[in-house]
Amino acid sequence: MAAPRELIYRALEEGRNKLLEHEAYEFLEAYELPVPKFSLAASEEEAVSAAERIGYPVVLKIVSPDIVHKSDVGGVKVNISSEEEVRKWFGTIMLNVKSRAPTARVTGILVQEMVPQDLEVIVGSTRDPLFGPVVMFGLGGIFVEVLRDVSLRITPITEYDAEEMLREIKSASILRGYRGAPPRDRRAIVDIILKVGKLMEEVPEVTDVDLNPIMVFPEGKGAKIADARILLKRV
Ligand code: ADP
Ligand code: MG
């Protein structure tokens, strides 16, 4: 695995302030964060062999330094379960992007392990000019976007702090198990919060981390990051 700093310097050298999605996963992997198996494919053949290696079902996603919202340009297809479908969707995604984002540079197509749908949470971080790295936690979707139900901590974050972040959101009861839904793997979320805090402290070039969504499985079954955005600046 490439040293995480190398990835960052290469992106900055190329004039980018954002890691491409596969670079973001590589970086997160170096911090032992739970990322789905992935592989960048430059051709349909490469996509097929990547899918066989990863195991079906897989997700295909466009990788481009010029596209922020991949779904908006028809650049994401989830739940692909055969070689024929990989071939079909590789071509369809390329055509979608060519017609809806004609000037976008295309790096390739990311083949990714399909993460089973489960409870979605968000962990993010940004740098406050006064306080330094701030880590945010909340439940996915409307909980964060509409209700702004989040908890925040300034780094360094202790295990106790991270556990408190899970307890203090208004929607905390959903994590504990709600109307027959099982309690979620809190330990896995705490671990993600701690590692995000650590990477923000160790890598000053990272200005923002946005892990959204993270699927959280029932207790003991862990969690997995389904989309990651990492922003950079020269320091
Ligand atoms: P964007 O936000 O750029 O449109 P995402 O990578 O977030 O693209 O993909 C869109 C949606 O597809 C995600 O919010 C998630 O619901 C689903 N998705 C993406 N990747 C995966 C995956 N590996 N496993 C399961 N679902 C996924
Ligand atoms: Mg997304």
User: What confidence score (pLDDT) does residue 143 get?
Assistant: 77
Backbone angles phi, psi at 152, to 5 degrees: -135, 145
Tell me the CA–centroid distance for residue 69 and ligand 2, in Å: 7
Name the CATH superfamily for 4-113.
ATP-grasp fold, A domain (3.30.1490.20)
If you take atom 23 of ligand 1, which residue's CA is the nearest one? 114
Q: What mean pLDDT is reported for the chain?
A: 95
Task: Report the CATH fold assignment for 119-232.
Answer: D-amino Acid Aminotransferase; Chain A, domain 1 (3.30.470)
Q: Which residues of 9-30 are buried (b: 16+ CB within 10 A; e: fewer)?
A: eebeeeeeebbbbbbbbbbbee
Q: What is the pLDDT of residues 200-213, one digit of tens each?
A: 999 999 999 999 99
Whether residue 174 has pLDDT greater than 80 = yes
Q: Do domains 4-113 and 119-232 have the same CATH topology?
A: no
184 secondary structure, DSSP code: B
**Closest to 85 (Cα-Cα) out of 57, 65, 55, 63:** 57
Q: What is the pLDDT of residues 47-96, one digit of tens each?
A: 999 999 999 999 999 999 999 899 999 999 999 999 999 999 999 999 99
Q: What is the pLDDT of residues 132-171, one digit of tens each?
A: 999 999 998 777 777 789 999 999 999 999 999 999 999 9
If you take atom 25 of ligand 1, which residue's CA is the nearest one? 115
- Strands annotated E in 75-232: 76-80, 108-113, 119-128, 132-139, 150-154, 206-216, 223-225, 228-232
**Closest to 35 (Cα-Cα) out of 23, 49, 47, 51:** 23
In whole angstroms, give the CA distance from residue 229 to residue 16: 13
Which residues are within 5 Å of ligand 2 (an ion), measured at CB?
A: 227
User: What confidence score (pLDDT) does residue 3 get?
Assistant: 63
The answer to whether the CB of 190 falls within 8 A of the CB of 162 is: yes
Percent of the chain with pLDDT over 90: 90
Ligand 1, pocket residues at CB < 6 Å: 36, 59, 61, 69-71, 76, 78, 112, 114-115, 213, 226-227
Domain boundaries, the chain: 4-113, 119-232
219 secondary structure, DSSP code: T
User: What confidence score (pLDDT) does residue 1 get?
Assistant: 45
Q: What is the pTM of this model?
A: 0.92
Q: What is the pLDDT of residues 214-230, one digit of tens each?
A: 999 999 999 999 999 99
Tell me the CA–centroid distance for residue 227 and ligand 2, in Å: 5
